[in-house]
Amino acid sequence: MCVCAHVCLHMPVCVCVHVCLHMPVCVCVHVCPPHSSMAKGKGKGKKAAEPKGRKVTLKMARAALKVTVDGKRRLDLSNMGIAAFPRCILALSDVDELDLSRNLLRKLPDSISSFASLRWLDLHSNQLESLPPTIARLQKLHTLNLSNNRLTAAGLPPELGLLADLRRLNLGLNRLDSAPHFLCALRELRELALFGNLLSREPAHLRHLPKLLRLNMADNPLPPPSPPLDTVWRAPDLLLVRHSCLCDACHQRCHHMQERIHSRASAPRSHHSKAALTTATLSVPNAVPPHDQEAWR
């Protein structure tokens, strides 16, 4: 018996390709359904707004189910010309991994939250401009790849910060003009990619992510690094006092300190210690020659 899975490409007119699972024995000829039967939107855009992608049937999706080397169930729908999220795959929502990368997706439905077992979601190289807040219900998510889309900072829902177990987040090659603050809430994050965006400011708040090991911010219009502020040594308890208030012993200690500061400042700069000093603006109270000592008593 011949079982057929049907693929309809509505581009630019309706062209139908019938994929027969019993090839080459069975050859099918199919009459294409009217174009409008694909349109489901809420009445706004007409033909022009319709996704011209490939339709995935449940049968095709079942055939795309794989088991990874570490025993996870992965639904691999990568690179299939999919322009609209195939709702039929909700029937397979118990998978551990979902690969929808390299397609033409412009948005995800709220129902993405049905994939509650997902640990790994790959959406890289699509046309996503935003994400639904319901994505935060994927509480088991470890890895989320959103790279090479059209995401803006405004298109990322703050609810993403609720993905409590997220380890790897790739937001590279998007249109982010700032690193959203919710990223700070992702306390388990190990790797964060923000390369190839429109960041014009160093996202200082990301430094507080406790487990972050890798942060890729290459290819952003960031200003050139400012003078290395963190190599300036700051005396932990520097006090400015009048000479006349110092006793003899204090004066000597100050003098000693100043000598140490000068000797460190003239030593060759080391990248490994914070010993490089700038003394030009430091003013210490022991800059008075010792012949005045009597006057301090």
Ligand X SMILES: *[C@@H]1O[C@H](CO)[C@@H](O)[C@H](O)[C@H]1NC(C)=O
Q: Supply the minimum distance, in Å, between the C-beta of residue 211 and ligand X.
A: 16
Shorter beta-carbon distance to ligand X: residue 84 or 123: 123
Q: Supply the minimum distance, in Å, between the C-beta of residue 169 and ligand X.
A: 8
Shorter beta-carbon distance to ligand X: residue 73 or 168: 168
SS3 289: coil
Binding test (CB under 6 A) with ligand X, winner from 145, 149, 220, 286: 145
Instruction: Kindly state whether residue 102 participates in binding ligand X, applying the rule CB under 6 A.
Output: no
Instruction: Kindly state whether residue 103 participates in binding ligand X, applying the rule CB under 6 A.
Output: no
Pairwise CA distance, residues 297 & 158, whole Å: 64
Q: Supply the minimum distance, in Å, between the C-beta of residue 92 and ligand X.
A: 22
Alpha-helix residue ranges (DSSP H) falling in the chain: 58-63, 248-266
Q: Supply the minimum distance, in Å, between the C-beta of residue 101 and ligand X.
A: 7
Cβ-based neighbours of 189, under 8 Å, separated by 6 or more: 166, 167, 168, 169, 183, 209, 211, 212
Instruction: Kindly state whether residue 142 participates in binding ligand X, applying the rule CB under 6 A.
Output: no
Name the residue type at position 109.
P
Binding test (CB under 6 A) with ligand X, winner from 147, 149, 174, 286: 147
Taking a C-beta distance cutoff of 8 angstroms, is the pair 223, 204 a contact? no
**How many CB atoms within 10 Å of residue 280?**
7
Shorter beta-carbon distance to ligand X: residue 7 or 173: 173
- Please give the C-alpha separations between residue 122 and each of 43, 70, 170, 255, 257, in angstroms, as whole numbers: 30, 17, 9, 63, 58
Pairwise CA distance, residues 225 & 6, whole Å: 56
Report which of 23, 24, 91 is spatially closest to residue 56, judged by C-alpha positions.
91
Shorter beta-carbon distance to ligand X: residue 56 or 194: 194
Shorter beta-carbon distance to ligand X: residue 72 or 243: 72
Contacts (CB under 6 A) with ligand X, residues 164-203:
168, 170
Binding test (CB under 6 A) with ligand X, winner from 134, 143, 152, 178: 143
Instruction: Kindly state whether residue 148 participates in binding ligand X, applying the rule CB under 6 A.
Output: yes
Alpha-helix residue ranges (DSSP H) falling in 31-187: 58-63
Q: Supply the minimum distance, in Å, between the C-beta of residue 119 and ligand X.
A: 12
Shorter beta-carbon distance to ligand X: residue 180 or 285: 180
Taking a C-beta distance cutoff of 8 angstroms, is the pair 291, 251 a contact? no
Shorter beta-carbon distance to ligand X: residue 54 or 102: 102
Q: Candidates 21-29, 56-64, 71-79, 139-147 — which segment interacts with ligand X by CB under 6 A?
A: 139-147
Instruction: Kindly state whether residue 124 participates in binding ligand X, applying the rule CB under 6 A.
Output: yes
Phi, psi dihedral angles at 217 (to 5 degrees): -120, 20
Residues that bind ligand X (CB under 6 A): 124-125, 143, 145, 147-148, 168, 170
